[in-house]
Amino acid sequence: MSLAHPSELIAFLDQIDAAPRKSLSQNFLIDANILQKIVKLAGIDKHDQVLEIGPGPGALTQELLKAEARVIAIEKDLKFARALPRLQVDGRLQTYEADFLKFPICEHLEKLAPMKVVANLPYHITTPIIERLCDHFSLFSSAWIMVQKELADRMTAHPGTKEMSSFTIFLQTYCKPTLALKVSRHCFFPVPKVDSCVMRLDFHPPRVDKPKSFLALVRRAFQQRRKMLRSTLSIQQEPFATKRPESLSYEDWLVVYHLINEKSGPIDPSAYT
């Protein structure tokens, strides 16, 4: 069965008495070419342990198994999770019926590290999923994740653009994000309102000693993005005092962080939440 073929996907949904659920962001990939490209771009082979978040009917799962990877698939929708064992090949597929945001990552995944993440993510919780991956950066070498184009733009934003956000800085603290592939909305069923992109994230240890403290400061400034840093962060030193948060590069933020640390001592993240 080719789940990338719309009529076969619909037949499968009928068979398990399921219909795409908006509340779980169920827009399924129905383009075989895109599925193959993702697996190829990620360089998946028999040495890889892959975490797939939200396998759904299993089109991407099938492709990962075909590339001989070991796949850990975490799916919240019971109907899909219970149907996944049908795709089993040589014991390489392990399925968890679970909400990824509550899944005990260390308990189940630590022994498989370093893993690659390959997933067409549920769009309503993309940001918390990425934050969780970053919190466990040491378990993952890279991630190849489908996200909405608007989020991809924020992930790769340059200083001075309106796409620049605290999320941009957060991400660069834990990984190097790059655009891997643009994907039209017409490659999904049902067709979503937005186009998508596959983003590649290469994880690394945090670029600062106390990332939580550093990021609390960045978020504080972005909460009032039209205001200058002298009013949001009480910083007096030029050229930063009269700048707005979106105009700062990552290196600028490091300088601002150290200036504030020197003046006021270590920053308490809870003071900024």
Q: Return residues touching ligand SAM (CB under 6 A).
A: 24-29, 53-56, 59-60, 74-77, 80, 99-101, 120, 122, 125
Shortest spacing between CB 94 and ligand SAM, in angstroms: 14
7 or 270, CB closer to ligand SAM?
7
Residue with the shortest CB distance to ligand SAM: 54
Shortest spacing between CB 40 and ligand SAM, in angstroms: 16
The torsion region of residue 58 among left (phi > 0), alpha (psi -120 to 50) and beta comes to: left
73 or 155, CB closer to ligand SAM?
73
Shortest spacing between CB 189 and ligand SAM, in angstroms: 8
Shortest spacing between CB 188 and ligand SAM, in angstroms: 8
Strands 196-203 and 70-75: unpaired
Shortest spacing between CB 255 and ligand SAM, in angstroms: 38
